[in-house]
Amino acid sequence: MKLDKFDREILHVLQQDATVSMADLSQRVGLSHTPCWRRVKRMEADGIILRKVTLLNSKKLNLGVSVFIFVTLKNHDGDSLTDFENAVQSINEIVECHTTSGEKDYLLKVVVESIEEYEYLLKSKLTHLPLVDHLSSTFALKQVKNTTELPIKNP
């Protein structure tokens, strides 16, 4: 789907504040209400807008420990990858899972309250994920940047 300047501006505004009213959104992007609404609905139907969420402050929720984990699997056949990916979905502390190139197969991001909680998670769940050969954990010391805004460029 080709995005024009109005679509891009709509996405820019919604990435900053998904609770903006349609009236405010249409005014901010320079469209009338109905065409703006149609564009949003089209981008939702096309899968460009996946969902609208509320972002939370992890530290205020006592979830101040972020851990990045490189995972290497024993096998790389289709079923092994699918089994691992399905199992990851059921662990709430895993907030991101990416397949990677190179020597490691996956990169996980885990958010927990404490190092002790991570140790428990590691021993009780992560090491028991299907076909895990090796896990390598790195703890984030400080979050320098955190954004969900994608860098949408003008053509």
pLDDT digit string (tens) for 84-135? Answer: 999 999 999 999 999 999 999 999 999 999 999 999 999 999 999 999 999 9
pLDDT in tens, 17-61: 999 999 999 999 999 999 999 999 999 999 999 999 999 999 999
What CATH fold (topology level) applies to the domain 5-46? Answer: Arc Repressor Mutant, subunit A (1.10.10)
The three-state secondary structure class of 132 is strand
Q: What angle do CA 32, 33, 35 make, to 5 degrees?
A: 75
CATH entry, 58-140, from 3.30.450.40, 3.20.20.150, 3.40.50.970, 3.30.70.920: 3.30.70.920
Q: Compute CA distances 42 → 4, 151, 154, whole Å.
A: 13, 20, 19
Long-range contacts, stretch 25-30, CB < 8 angstroms, 24+ apart: 30/6
Question: Does the fold of domain 58-140 match that of domain 5-46?
Answer: no
Residue 13: phi, psi to the nearest 5?
A: -65, -45
The Cα–Cα gap between 119 and 110 comes to 12
Residue ranges of domains in the chain: 5-46, 58-140
Residue indicated by tokens 């995005």: 3
